[in-house]
Amino acid sequence: MPVPAFGDAYNRDVLEDTYRRWQESPGSVDATWQAFFAGVEFSGNGVAKSDALHGDLRLQTGVVRLVFWHRQAGHFQAHTDPLSETPPPTPDHLKIETYGLSEADLDKTVDGSMYFGINGPVKLRELLAALKATYCGRIGVEYMHIDDLQKRTWLAERIEPTRNQPNLDLRLKYRALMTLHWASLFESYLHTKFVGQKRFSLEGAETLLPMLDAIVQKSPSLGIKELVLGMAHRGRLNVLANTLGKPFEQIFNEFEDNYLPESTKDGDGDVKYHMGFSADITTTDGGSVHLSLSPNPSHLEIVNPVVEGRVRAKQRLHGDTERATGVPILIHGDAAFAGQGVVAETLNLANLAGYRTGGTVHLVINNQIGFTTNPRDARSTQYCTDIAKFIQAPIFHIHGEDPESAVYITQLALEYRQQFKSDVVIDLVCYRKYGHNEGDEPSFTQPVQYRIIKAKKPVPTVYAERLVQEGAIKPEEAKAIEEEFRQRLDAALKEVKSGPPKPKTMTGFGGRWEKLTNHYSHAPVDTHIAEAVADRIAEQLATVPDGFQLHPTIKKLADKRRDDILGRKSLDWGTGEALAFGSLVLEGTHVRLSGQDSRRGTFSHRHAAYLDQETGKPYVPLAHLDPNQAPFDAYDSPLSEAAVLVFK
Ligand SMILES: Cc1ncc(C[n+]2csc(CCOP(=O)(O)OP(=O)(O)O)c2C)c(N)n1
């Protein structure tokens, strides 16, 4: 059943006219109206007489509008902010009075079948409770901006019957608690053992770890073999240690006064918040997934297109034309996601033939502050995630102290990515326990917010108490997780303190990168090609498939290129390029051109793609040189000046 596309601007004349037409012949009106009038008849006990019509219409129209507006705007009332004890007040969109309904209507039976999971008659009170639970709980859902009905329906079919409530089994609850504790203890350990050092603590946003864990754990069952992560400073050390399994010893070593970063290999003087890492992770049920965290510079969000480019390249190397096995995961800060232009540039690449990666999972650590700037001074939008709406990504807002909702929505988001191969966003609404870094005093600039934050219990404590209260775990079990983790940290620190100063261990380039060196040479390279190769390219440039209607001027140009090469005459720039590209792909090197005018060439000199003058279909001669050649791709690209540079 489609999600009804009702708005709220009803016109009585249209309604009555459509109703009359439906009475005469139900098939003469569209399917949504058919369902609507069936509901009207139903609530009129099957006697939708003309004089009863308006009363029934009022009720059923109200129902339809309530369902529509909860889907559309329920997130405004969702309780997602852990710094607020109460949910936001009910906006007018969600009040029954707005739709001409009253308390007296709540016990009337209405047709609830436009809501998934209620198939038919239901008391209005019950329908409203279902809507509130689904759309106004601890998860705010934005998906009505998605035009694709299939995607919208897929989401509604999942979140409505379940009332969008997480239903984690005990094992998953325990795992969520464990990863929360890891996140929190790791930070407090660094805080006490390396006093005064910057670490860009994750505290207040610990729920990020159960979310990442949910992605890792679920990946193998969805056919995902590789995750490429990109993130900035916040929580990076924590993610390195607890998600990617970078040895604690290595991290502690980098904090030591006697750490010698200059002893690393050429050009790798990275600081610890910028370093990349990769690891193969075995999941609890024996699956395997490769994780890499991209190195990043200080420039916030610039890592986004790098990650996309890496994933795209990996997909090509693995022949993954479905883009199903490698998934980009981008972790953003709220201020950076809303503020940095490269975010928009990268999102704009999401659906382009030359750049698609089959969808990115975006996780926003929304700690409701950027350095010392409040959200109202940092963006003109309601949410820090609004930028993602232009690519029609679904957006989920999650209460940062509700790890179960976070895990459940993360699983759903990953399924959505795999199902539709498109982007999805999760906005983790949380807080930042300290200042921007641990040396900053946040109450200089946010006195009220930090009074609330200082009074808060750590996120794992809140969750552990909840689990104890519901009888899922015993208090000793939460303590045991802490104790076991602390011992691992102690052992690692002891190891670091006991030895001589250690240089950073370089993981280096392995596998297909083994031959890569950092040394650049200006020595001339032999670029000669055999004459037979040049002739073959020449013929190909002037050959089109049977029936292909080449523009007469381009035909002249193509023939001249062929004749110039075959005649060993001097060549123009475009012909020289064609010989270079053609010979490279024949040697097995992939050639990829991207830029706004890549196919024609800025000076109308390239003509990498010929266009049939009748059908507009392209034909790329250099892609048809030999069945065994490497690909030749020329993509006309967005007018991007930053993202496109880092996307190889
Ligand atoms: C392009 C760029 N501008 C400014 C900075 C300096 N800077 C580093 S972190 C930060 C605040 C980022 O806020 P947010 O994205 O909300 O992340 P948070 O630190 O709150 O986790 C700023 C301004 C930077 N690193 N890069």
Residue with tokens 């990769």: 278
Arithmetic mean of pLDDT over the chain: 91
Confidence of residue 257 (pLDDT cuts 50, 70, 90): low
Residue 376 CB contacts under 8 Å (≥ 6 apart), including other chains: none
Please give the pLDDT value at position 490: 94
Q: Ligand 1 mean position to 374 CA, how many Å?
A: 13
Q: Ligand 1 mean position to 370 CA, how many Å?
A: 6
Please give the pLDDT value at position 256: 77
Per-residue buried b or exposed e for 368-389, using 16+ beta carbons within 10 Å of the residue's own CB: bbbeeeebeebbeeebbbbbbb
Averaged pLDDT, 368-375? 97
What percent of the chain lies above the pLDDT cut of 70?
91
Pocket test for ligand 1, best of 436, 438, 445, 449 (most atoms within 8 A of CB): 436
Least confident of 109-123, 261-275, 553-567: 261-275
How far is the C-alpha of 619 from the C-alpha of 555, rounded, in Å?
Answer: 13
Query: Which amino acid is it at 59?
Result: L
User: Reduced to 3 states, what is the DSSP secondary structure of residue 301?
Assistant: coil
Residue 478 CB contacts under 8 Å (≥ 6 apart), including other chains: 177, 181, 460, 464, 467, 468
Confidence of residue 14 (pLDDT cuts 50, 70, 90): confident
Q: Strands 109-111, 139-142: parallel, antiparallel or unpaired by DSSP?
A: unpaired
**386-431 pLDDT tens trace:** 999 999 999 999 999 999 999 999 999 999 999 999 999 999 999 9
| Residue that wins the pLDDT comparison between 47 and 558 | 558
Cβ–Cβ under 8 Å, residues 528 and 286: no
Please give the pLDDT value at position 29: 85
Q: Using a 6 Å cutoff on CB, does residue 367 contact ligand 1?
A: yes
Q: Using a 6 Å cutoff on CB, does residue 436 contact ligand 1?
A: yes
How far is the C-alpha of 587 from the C-alpha of 582, rounded, in Å?
Answer: 9
Please give the pLDDT value at position 48: 45
Q: Ligand 1 mean position to 20 CA, how many Å?
A: 60
What percent of the chain lies above the pLDDT cut of 90?
79
The closest alpha carbon to 163, from 126, 124, 132, 119, belongs to 132
Ligand 1 atom closest to 301 (CA):
1
Q: Ligand 1 mean position to 364 CA, how many Å?
A: 13
| Residue that wins the pLDDT comparison between 27 and 171 | 171
Cβ–Cβ under 8 Å, residues 453 and 390: no
Least confident of 19-23, 113-117, 633-637: 19-23
In this predicted structure, the answer to whether residue 550 has a pLDDT above a threshold of 60 is yes
Averaged pLDDT, 234-249? 95
Encoding tokens for residue 169?
Answer: 């089994």
Please give the pLDDT value at position 20: 83
Averaged pLDDT, 339-357? 96
Q: Using a 6 Å cutoff on CB, does residue 334 contact ligand 1?
A: yes
**568-618 pLDDT tens trace:** 999 999 999 999 999 999 999 999 999 899 999 999 999 999 999 999 999
Q: Ligand 1 mean position to 406 CA, how many Å?
A: 24
In this predicted structure, the answer to whether residue 19 has a pLDDT above a threshold of 70 is yes
Q: Whose CA is nearest to atom 20 of ligand 1?
A: 370
In this predicted structure, the answer to whether residue 64 has a pLDDT above a threshold of 50 is yes
Least confident of 40-49, 61-70, 140-149, 197-206: 40-49
Cβ–Cβ under 8 Å, residues 238 and 202: yes
**555-567 pLDDT tens trace:** 999 999 999 999 9
In this predicted structure, the answer to whether residue 263 has a pLDDT above a threshold of 70 is no
Pocket test for ligand 1, best of 301, 371, 646 (most atoms within 8 A of CB): 371
Q: Ligand 1 mean position to 334 CA, how many Å?
A: 9
Burial grade of 552 (CB within 10 A; 0-12, 13-18, 19 or more): exposed
Please give the pLDDT value at position 510: 72
Ligand 1 atom closest to 365 (CA):
21
Q: Ligand 1 mean position to 396 CA, how many Å?
A: 23
Q: Ligand 1 mean position to 231 CA, how many Å?
A: 11
**454-480 pLDDT tens trace:** 999 999 999 999 999 999 999 999 999
Pocket test for ligand 1, best of 198, 200, 202, 300 (most atoms within 8 A of CB): 300
Q: How many CB atoms lie within 10 A of CB 245?
A: 14
Cβ–Cβ under 8 Å, residues 615 and 578: no
The closest alpha carbon to 29, from 15, 13, 40, belongs to 15
**196-236 pLDDT tens trace:** 888 999 999 999 999 999 999 999 999 999 999 999 999 99
The closest alpha carbon to 401, from 137, 21, 82, belongs to 82
How far is the C-alpha of 145 from the C-alpha of 238, rounded, in Å?
Answer: 35
**278-317 pLDDT tens trace:** 999 999 999 999 999 999 999 999 999 999 999 999 999 8
In this predicted structure, the answer to whether residue 501 has a pLDDT above a threshold of 70 is no
| Residue that wins the pLDDT comparison between 485 and 520 | 485
Q: Whose CA is nearest to atom 10 of ligand 1?
A: 371
pTM of the model: 0.91
